[in-house]
Amino acid sequence: MRDVSNLPGLHALRSMFSTKKRSMPRVQSSAYLDLYMLGKEKERLLKENERLAMRQTVVKKRLEEIDREVSKLQEVETAAEARTNISTSGCSYAQKGGAEKEWKKMALNY
């Protein structure tokens, strides 16, 4: 299924620093600045990677919980269907659970 989050866009954008383009020509003294900027970007990406890993474990755990709940509910549903099939075999509708009783009849004389 395609949605907005699957489209290539803002997630894949590169900054001016990552494209190695500058508004001013490169100066030899800017190597320290480049090292600093690369170090900061590396720290940011490592932290983002940790957050993604934590989020992925949370999502996997929740998916496992959902699967367990679905299997439990399906077992309950199949057991209930089996009970209703056993109780309805050989019985008429009026005999099932007394849900429908016959009306009492009496004669009226005018």
Domain count, the chain: 1
Does residue 63 lie in a domain region? yes
Does residue 5 lie in a domain region? no
Q: Are 79 and 87 in contact (CB under 8 A)?
A: no
Range of 35-39, 55-59, 80-84 with top mean pLDDT? 55-59
Q: Are 17 and 41 in contact (CB under 8 A)?
A: yes
Report whether pLDDT(94) > 60: no
Does residue 107 lie in a domain region? no
H-type helices in 4-100, by residue range?
31-88, 93-96
Q: Please name the residue that has the structure tokens 């190695």.
A: 20
Domain housing 31? 17-86
Does residue 9 lie in a domain region? no
Give me the mean pLDDT over the 80-98 stretch: 64
Give me the mean pLDDT over the 42-60 stretch: 96
Distance from C-alpha of 74 to C-alpha of 84, rounded to nearest angstrom: 15
Give me the mean pLDDT over the 81-104 stretch: 66
Give the residue among 40, 5, 2, 38 at the shortest CA–CA distance from 20: 38
Does residue 31 lie in a domain region? yes
The structure's pTM equals 0.50
Does residue 46 lie in a domain region? yes
